[in-house]
Structure 1
Amino acid sequence: MKLLPKILLVLCLAVVANSYAQEEIVAPSDDEKPVEIPYFIIEEKPMFEACKEVPNDKQYQCFKEQLDKHVKIHFKYPPEALAQEIQGKVAIAFRINTDGTVSIIGKRAANKILEEEAVFLIRSLPCFIPGKMRGVPTAVTYAYFINFKLPDDYNNPQISKSAN
């Protein structure tokens, strides 16, 4: 009879010890945010199709050149901003998703008109070859600045008329 309580105690301790040793497996939920890695940290950088054959050490340079080229080709100074002689810099942060599409994640500008044009320019980017971390397609974040500056030879007709 004295042996029974000792056996029960050992069994209880064994059950308790085993229950703490188990690792809880939690399945990711659909509402969790995907992992986002900054451009300069990702192992395999996202790239434009034109940068596909470029060596790894030149990937950033090619990415930046292609991004600048896209902005230069598609850049249109908003007529309303021209009329009001609005200038300024727009900071825009975007994510290159695992499928290569682009999502705007942040924007900041002194003027809403310029901000909207910057968003349009980034949303019009072509589909990228997605970045990868440990061989797995991963969302990558990137920050970019667009400078809206009136041309040196700009002559606002509204101002000229009112000066006469």
Structure 2
Amino acid sequence: MKLLPKVLLVLCLAVVANSYAQQEIVAPSDDERPVDIPYVIIEEKPMFEACKELPDDRQFQCFKEQLDKHVNTHFRYPPEALAEGIQGKVTIAFRINTDGTVSIIGKRGAHKILEEEAAFLIRSLPCFIPGKMRGVPTAVTYAYFFNFKLPDDYNNPQISKSAN
């Protein structure tokens, strides 16, 4: 009889443990998981409107050309950076969202002023035709590199004064 309470206790614990083990944990399906795909591996690349009629093998080149054209057209050296003699490189990582809009996901550079100007240029990009994976619009990541270089004939008054 001394064994019966121990057996009942073990049986109760087994039932309780088994009932907890029956909880189903459902992981989100691939369709529910928001995933950013790098530009280089996305099946259907996001593109500018100007590139949509081109064959697949020309679309990447067109994407780069249109991106460079946008940056060169809208580029301005920040006046504060000119005044302070600031120059350097900036990398902007951005996402082309499923609706074709652009979001900045990271920026790194020589100075905050330069980072902000580079981010402004990327945010001002026109809406893209979104990239697709398995036929479904998918967010795509891309990085763009800027080189803010002062003109060769740049003469900073502050530097000139301190040199005298």
- Matched residue type, 2:44: E
1:84 aligns with 84
Alignment of 1:110 onto 2:110: yes
1:7 aligns with none
- Matched residue type, 2:74: H
In 1, Cα distance between equivalents of 2:69 and 2:38: 22
Q: CA RMSD in A?
A: 2.4
**Post-superposition offset of 1:145:** 0.4
Alignment of 1:143 onto 2:143: yes
Which sections of structure 1, spanning at least 5 residues, go unmatched?
1-19
**Post-superposition offset of 1:27:** 5.7
- Matched residue type, 2:124: S
Distance 1:40 1:27, change over 3 A: closer
Alignment of 1:126 onto 2:99: no
1:72 aligns with 72
Identity of counterpart residues, as a percentage? 84
**Post-superposition offset of 1:76:** 0.6
Which sections of structure 2, spanning at least 5 residues, go unmatched?
1-21
In 2, Cα distance between equivalents of 1:98 and 1:123: 15
**Post-superposition offset of 1:156:** 2.7
In 2, Cα distance between equivalents of 1:27 and 1:60: 32
**Post-superposition offset of 1:151:** 1.2
In 1, Cα distance between equivalents of 2:33 and 2:39: 18
**Post-superposition offset of 1:55:** 0.9
- Matched residue type, 2:156: N
